[in-house]
Structure 1
Amino acid sequence: MRRLLVAALLVPLLSGCGGDPKDDYCDAVKDHQTELSDIVSTGKPDALINALDIFHDLQDKAPGDITDEWQQVVGRIEALRDALDDADVDPATYDRDNPPEGVTAEQQARIDAAAKELGSGTTLRALQDLGQQARDVCKTPLTL
């Protein structure tokens, strides 16, 4: 009986220790909104790679119902970043039609495959779903 009473008293205390995951996520969306908007609005080829730190923070704080979408988006950006890094290529200046000297056909194929996956319907849908979730749940868009 005593254990049951202790457990009954601890449950509300423990559940009150952390904030609501959706509130924490929405706070992060709002905190990063201006910076993310600035990065994305540049239109630079490396904008999404430059936004990875923000995306990692949002992914870490995301509620369970959107973790798959964040994994899809972040995973595809990381794959492209890694392919470019492995080829020792600057994402801001890489030109697929005129790759830098020293980039092998295999490296170029890996970069192309990663870019294709990043632009795939699955990744674009995940990004759209994340934007919609931010508007619906957080009452604010991911970017301005």
Structure 2
Amino acid sequence: MPKVRPSRFVRLLAAVAVGVTAVAALPAVSAQAATASFNESVRGGYNDTQPLGNATGTVTRTGSASASYSVTLCGQNTYPSSRVVIQGGTASVNHIVYYQDCETFSGTFASSSAFAFVTITVSGSTFYPGNQYTTYTKTATRYI
């Protein structure tokens, strides 16, 4: 009985099918996310037990050097205010709420150079413990 050997074309076709299947099984990887969400809180006082402010929101890339944002900032046990600063490249936005207030802010900002990430800084102040006025901050970085 003669031996049957597959042709080169059939072997090539089988190799291509295996390669396509392997590539399709890999997860899709994006260069950078278009939108980043955040939920950052700052605490202070004795052993950082007192909540002083919370900022929740999103930052969305609108160009290589620009972004839009929406943030809700809430003061918590802070005197006199809580603050959030969102910075990307050379641009930054700054919002303040007083005492226990909550407000939502939105807008856009543009840097003079391209940026790949933003920093979100939340701060609040207190006289607790004792009578020493102290400002506490928390900073987070998000890639967009």
Give the TM-score band, short-chain normalised.
Answer: under 0.3
The structure carrying a bigger strand percent of its residues is: 2
**TM-score with structure 1 setting the length:** 0.24
Structure-2-length-normalised TM-score: 0.24
**Structure (1/2) with the larger helix percentage:** 1
